[in-house]
Chain A
Amino acid sequence: METDLTLEIIGKGNSLPPFSARECIQTLTPISHGTLRRTINGTLVCIGNEGHRKFQSTISCKDRVPPAFEGFWKGTLLKVGCIQSLTQPVPQGTERVQLEREALSLHLYERSGKTWPIKEVGNQFVSLLAEFPGGFITYRPLLTMFVKNYHLETDEWGLSVGWTLELVEK
């Protein structure tokens, strides 16, 4: 309950003990890939592979207890339940939305902020009620990521532990 963030070494469970992850901050950034080039006619195009559209992320926190990072090394594979959500606009009349990533929790809401129920979710597809007037869908992605690096720090007399974890999507 203290955080929606989950960091799981597959098969070992969540690596966030109580009092280790309150007030976390997460960044989610697309990795650098592809290049912008001009055609012979001067039109700008992006030369890249859609399969390389991946995220990198940095998660940092300052709390009381250190996270269970023993066993985390560069290349360790984690299932990351993000706190940074992704949002896409949903035009009026849309009956089905495809999400770019697996979703952990979903919010469907119209432009006024009113929340709507979701009809059905399955395999990154979300079915909406026909009456939905258009708006946005926001979800927390579940990403499979590699550990890139991490940093731990303790303020002994301040009774606080800070940590930073750098991740790259598989």
Chain B
Amino acid sequence: MRELLADLATTLGQVGPAFLQVPPNTAYPYISLEPNQRLQGLPGGPLVLTLSIKIWSRYAGTQEVLKLAKGVEDILQAYAPQTVKVCLKILESTLMLLTDGQTRVYTFRLKARLRGRTQ
């Protein structure tokens, strides 16, 4: 799971700075990855992970955040890493303006299915 998150962060780095743990005072815009839920069925079977990818922007208006979101979406649709056997499905995406009136957050909620160890 950690390997997937690290690879996703590296790959999304093509769009903008991407972090699993956002360092203090990071400049906008940036992308954060947050695992939400981890489910394993059979022992050694596939693993299903629910995660959120958030794009944070303080640009006036929505142009920057939507452009970054398009870049992230394109990468997620074509995501097929060599190191991890995984498939992604985007469940939903939302754009929200925070109460500070400046920060916009575009959130992708997705599921990742990682292959298990089978014989």
Contact = CB atoms under 8 A, between A and B. Distances in A.
Interface stretch (B14-22, B30-38, B40-48): B40-48
B89 to A, nearest CB: 5
Contacts of A99: none
B119 to A, nearest CB: 5
A63 B118 CA distance: 26
Interface of B: 42-46, 80, 85-87, 89, 111, 113, 115, 117-119
A105 B87 contact: no
Contacts of A85: 42
Contacts, number: 42
Contacts of A121: 119
Contacts of B115: 1
A118 B119 contact: yes
Q: Which 7 A-B residue pairs are closest in the complex by CB-CB distance? A: A105-B118, A2-B87, A115-B44, A113-B43, A1-B87, A22-B89, A109-B43
Contact of B43 (A105, A115, A118): A115
A26 to B, nearest CB: 14
A105 B45 CA distance: 10
Given A115-B43, A115-B44, A138-B42, A107 B118 contact: yes
Given A115-B117, A118-B119, A107 B42 contact: yes
Q: Which of B43, B44, B45 has the most CB of A within 10 A?
A: B43
Contact of A23 (B85, B89, B118): B89
Q: Which of A22, A118, A121 has the most CB of B within 10 A?
A: A22
Q: Which of A1, A22, A23, A109 has the most CB of B within 10 A?
A: A1
B43 A2 contact: no
A109 B80 CA distance: 30
Contacts of B87: 1-3, 22
